[in-house]
Amino acid sequence: MPDLAILPLVVMAMALVWFVLQQRLGFMAQRSADYAGTGPAADIRHHLNGPIECEGVIYGPTGRVTSRFTARMEGRWNGSRGTLDEHFAYAGGNTQTRQWRLSLGNDGAIHAEADDVVGHGVGQQEGASVRLSYRIRLPRHAGGWALDVTDWMYVMENGTIINRSQFRKFGIKVAELVATMRRVQP
């Protein structure tokens, strides 16, 4: 009969191996340099400029859809500084607004601020991708937690952006978002 005292150690070791593999091989292992030379080249001053329509879903920790949303966005740029106003409408009837204040460095580095972001976000555009990492404070009705977020945006040949974001608490994925963003005529 196996010694049951080692079972918790085996479970913890397996969990640690799984966590390390996710960090090394999964979503969090992506780097902007992985997309260097891919096209079409992402330029947030172009792709996040003017009116944008967005549709998306949010998945909970088990992978089931927990929310659906549409959004109207409006980007405005003056040189390397811009704003992105977002107006979300969720399937359950809730609404949310956010204004991103963005700046783009000559090397593609992105600095981002918003009222519900703790501190500021940092990112990089390279090739057909844009990465943005930040810590967001959820609204009180959603628990009020501060979550670590990584957004990856991939520019398609027709200019549509596919956005995939993961939300983590203590390094554990608690939600994922997948959305499309398309520029529309004013």
Domain match, 127 and 102 both: yes
Q: Could you read off the pLDDT of 117-174 as tens digits, one per residue?
A: 999 999 999 898 999 999 999 888 878 889 999 999 999 999 999 999 999 999 889 9
Q: Could you read off the pLDDT of 32-85 as tens digits, one per residue?
A: 667 777 778 889 999 999 999 999 999 999 999 999 999 999 999 999 999 999
Contacts of 129 (CB under 8 A, 6+ apart): 32, 34, 35, 38, 42, 152, 153, 154, 155
Whether the CB-CB separation of 128 and 38 falls below 8 Å is answered with yes
15: pLDDT confidence band, cut at 50, 70 and 90?
A: low
Domain match, 4 and 69 both: no
Domain match, 89 and 158 both: yes
Report CA 147 to chain centroid distance, whole Å.
11
Domain that holds residue 156: 32-183
Q: What is the DSSP letter of 177?
A: E
Nearest C-alpha neighbor of 184 from the set 71, 38, 58, 91: 71
Domain match, 72 and 128 both: yes
Contacts of 50 (CB under 8 A, 6+ apart): 74, 75, 183, 184, 186
